Amino acid sequence: MTFPDKPYGSIGDFVDAYADQTARAFVSIDREKMAAAADCLNTAYQGGQIVYVCGNGGSAAISNHFHCDHLKGVQTDTAIKPRVVSLSSTVETLTAIANDISYDDVFSYQLKTMAKPGDVLITVSSSGDSENIVKAATWAKNNNVRVISFTGFSGGRSADLADINLHVEGDNYGVIEDAHQSIMHILAQYLRLAAMPANLIDERKF
């Protein structure tokens, strides 16, 4: 069975059930892998490498939000200057590649053009099995670009390809995407906290 597996008598009941599923998703996140992801990103940001991020649909929105909160948010009150590129952000480039080559290549084509060894690729995919995500992760692995994957459901092929797989136990797209969005925020805020003067923390909004 998947959630939801029945109708609900009121939206309040559905809120309670959805909140329970979200709580279960958060409990499932591997804390050691979160630490590894934070270290990987911090190394890239401190070293001037580029972090690329990509996803489809709602995951594309998370990718674009990642660009905002990491490029701008992480450097607020810190000396870090994150270099972040969302491969999901430019509709002109995406549609040109999709139309002239293949939608399967919309992310890997951009990586082939821009990425260098030492850079990082973050893939955001609930199923972990979107072909364009898999092709991007495969190219990255073959070209010394580290891969962090955000996944749900069974994890898919991108979970197996990743150096670090941040997996969420869930079988509902909304719940999984909510957790992925929170993982993105947690990483950004944690890296900012670790690098900013401690006396400023309680004076700032996060």
* Rg, the chain, Cα only: 17
Range of the domain at 181: 31-203
Q: Is residue 4 part of a domain?
A: no
Per residue in 41-84, pLDDT (tens digit) is 999 999 999 999 999 999 999 999 999 999 999 999 999 999 99
Q: Is residue 7 part of a domain?
A: no
Question: Which CATH number does the domain housing residue 82 bear?
Answer: 3.40.50.10490
Q: What is the pTM of this model?
A: 0.96
Q: Is residue 11 part of a domain?
A: no
Per residue in 99-127, pLDDT (tens digit) is 999 999 999 999 999 999 999 999 999 99
Q: Is residue 55 part of a domain?
A: yes
Read off the pLDDT band of 1 (50, 70, 90).
confident
Q: Is residue 147 part of a domain?
A: yes
Q: What is the per-residue DSSP string for the chain?
A: --S--S--SSHHHHHHHHHHHHHHHHHHS-HHHHHHHHHHHHHHHHHT-EEEEEESTHHHHHHHHHHHIIIIITTTTSS---EEEETTS-HHHHHHHHHHT-GGGTTHHHHHHH--TT-EEEEE-SSS--HHHHHHHHHHHHTT-EEEEEE-TT-HHHHHH-SEEEE---S-HHHHHHHHHHHHHHHHHHHHHHHS-GGGGGGS--
Distance between CA atoms of residues 97 and 105, nearest Å: 7
> How many structural domains does the chain have?
1
Distance between CA atoms of residues 106 and 70, nearest Å: 23
